[in-house]
Amino acid sequence: MDQPKKEQLPAQPLSVHELVREIREHLEYEFTSVWVTGEISNLRTPHSGHTYFTLKDADAQIPAVFFKNKKRYIRFEPEDGLEVLCKGIVTVYEVRGSMQLNIDYMEPVGLGALYLAFEQIKERLEKEGLFDPVHKKKLPLLPRRIGVITSPTGAAIQDILNIIHRRFAGVEILIAPVRVQGDSAAGEIVEALQSLNSRGDLDVIILSRGGGSIEDLWPFNEDAVARAIFASCIPVVSAVGHETDYTIADFVADFRAPTPSAAAELVVQNKADLVYRIQQLARRLQSQMGHSLERLRSNIEQFGRRLVTPAQRLGMLQQRLDDLGASLYEAGQRRVSASRDRLVRRQSDLRLLSPRHKLHRLRERHGMLHERLRRSSDKRVKGARDSIGALSSRLHALSPLNVLARGYSIVYRLPEREIIRDVKKLSVQDRVRIRFHRGEAEGTLDFIEEG
């Protein structure tokens, strides 16, 4: 049998760490930037902020990690079951010696990342109650001072100023200039809302900008902006984009206007319409006051006719006093009569409760019970006597002596004095004793005949 060839041992073998490191370097060199599509599963995000999950398809899977500093460049939140397109490098996590994908970029497959982020933010804030109508504040009828948060160079501010001045000149407008697109826009909008709320002299706030793409309008979808609107003590009107544009700010705000111009018309009433309405109300008030005065005058005249002189009033009072006196006398008579009737009833009750009366009734009851007891005793004695006579007759009829008197006798076998009922129990020469109705006889059997 051939001996196995002995392997040549290397001069310096690799440690496990060195082997894993070389594999990692080789993978990272070969797959420096790879695009992969797959479904997210087993997603978890610990306190570190890094996101760990498995990227899989129908035939295979690979662990993946999306570090916190890379995640800040995407708008949506990864979640289980989401089909995504990822860009990253293939490497090895040396502690476990397992291959993984370090992701640099991610976007949903078949759905825009910003649209997905919009839906995720909208769903989360709606569950928290930020859209609940119960939290919506009413707009003031005539605001004295209006805050406007918008770009100072955009067309929106000009439309708002022109419409407010045209509808109600003299209303004060405080402009809080902010960027309305870009990475810093959301922070400036939040600061502007907080600053205007801290003043304490504004009646309403308009948050506005013109139309644009979803990327341009994105600051108004930010979580921080939505929460700042919700926290505002002053009513907020959202007027972002065109009529078909919707942002998260529209859902959180107390009112949503389709355009900046519509927001100005919503917040400020038309002065001419108000003046006309006031004039109408003044005419209606004047007419109603005239009718009220006429009714009051008529009532005064009627009351004047109904007034009586002191003498007439005194006579009516005297008549009323006589009526009351008569009623009092009748009431007194009725009470006296009722008291008399009660006294008679009480006397009758007392007579019934008198010891002499009760003793008489008890004597009558005692006599009646004594008579009933005597009759009952006599009846029971007679019944017992009749029963004893019947039993005596039955006993006499069944007595053995009475049977012997009719010619019968009783045979005993001696010496045990056994009563013989069948001749088969006797033998010749047996000693027997015979009892008759009167007397007894003894003898020895000489002959037996069976019947």
Query: pLDDT tens, 426-442?
Result: 777 888 888 887 888 88
123-174 pLDDT per residue, tens: 888 899 988 989 999 999 889 999 999 998 888 888 888 888 888 888 899 9
**Same domain assignment for residues 285 and 174:** no
Of 1-10, 113-122, 193-202, 402-411, which one has max mean pLDDT? 193-202
280 vs 193: CA distance, rounded Å: 39
**Same domain assignment for residues 169 and 243:** yes
**Mean pLDDT confidence for 346-367:** 78
Q: Which residues contact 257 (CB under 8 A, 6 or more apart)?
A: 237, 238, 239, 263, 266
pLDDT of 4 > 70? The answer is no
Is residue 60 assigned to a domain? yes
User: Could you tell me if 437 and 401 are in contact, meaning their C-beta atoms sit under 8 angstroms apart?
Assistant: yes
**Same domain assignment for residues 159 and 215:** yes
pLDDT of 59 > 90? The answer is no
pLDDT of 108 > 90? The answer is no
Is residue 24 assigned to a domain? yes
User: Could you tell me if 214 and 131 are in contact, meaning their C-beta atoms sit under 8 angstroms apart?
Assistant: no
**Same domain assignment for residues 259 and 154:** yes
**Same domain assignment for residues 331 and 295:** no
Final residue of a domain: which of 69, 95, 111?
111
Is residue 373 assigned to a domain? no
pLDDT at 32: 75
Is residue 63 assigned to a domain? yes
Q: Which residues contact 4 (CB under 8 A, 6 or more apart)?
A: none
Is residue 132 assigned to a domain? no
**Same domain assignment for residues 163 and 237:** yes
Report the alpha-carbon angle 441-443-444, nearest 5: 160
pLDDT at 227: 93
**Same domain assignment for residues 325 and 409:** no
Final residue of a domain: which of 111, 127, 153?
111
* Confidence band of 111 (pLDDT split at 50, 70, 90): low
Hey, what are 150's tokens? 């918008």
**Mean pLDDT confidence for 404-430:** 78
pLDDT at 225: 92
* Phi, psi values for residue 378, rounded to 5°: -60, -40
Is residue 432 assigned to a domain? yes
Domain holding 80: CATH number? 2.40.50.140
**Same domain assignment for residues 184 and 260:** yes
Could you give the 3-state DSSP secondary structure of residue 83? strand
Is residue 361 assigned to a domain? no
Is residue 92 assigned to a domain? yes
pLDDT at 413: 84
Hey, what are 245's tokens? 């544009």
**Same domain assignment for residues 296 and 320:** no
Q: What is the mean pLDDT of the chain?
A: 83
Domain holding 247: CATH number? 3.40.50.261
Hey, what are 220's tokens? 């108004």
**Same domain assignment for residues 173 and 262:** yes
* Confidence band of 308 (pLDDT split at 50, 70, 90): low
**Same domain assignment for residues 159 and 264:** yes
Query: Residues of the chain with pLDDT > 70: what percent?
Result: 93
376-391 pLDDT per residue, tens: 888 888 888 888 888 8
**Same domain assignment for residues 221 and 191:** yes
Domain housing 298 = 279-306
Q: How many domains does the chain have?
A: 5
Centroid of chain to Cα 111 = 39
* Confidence band of 8 (pLDDT split at 50, 70, 90): low
87 vs 182: CA distance, rounded Å: 24
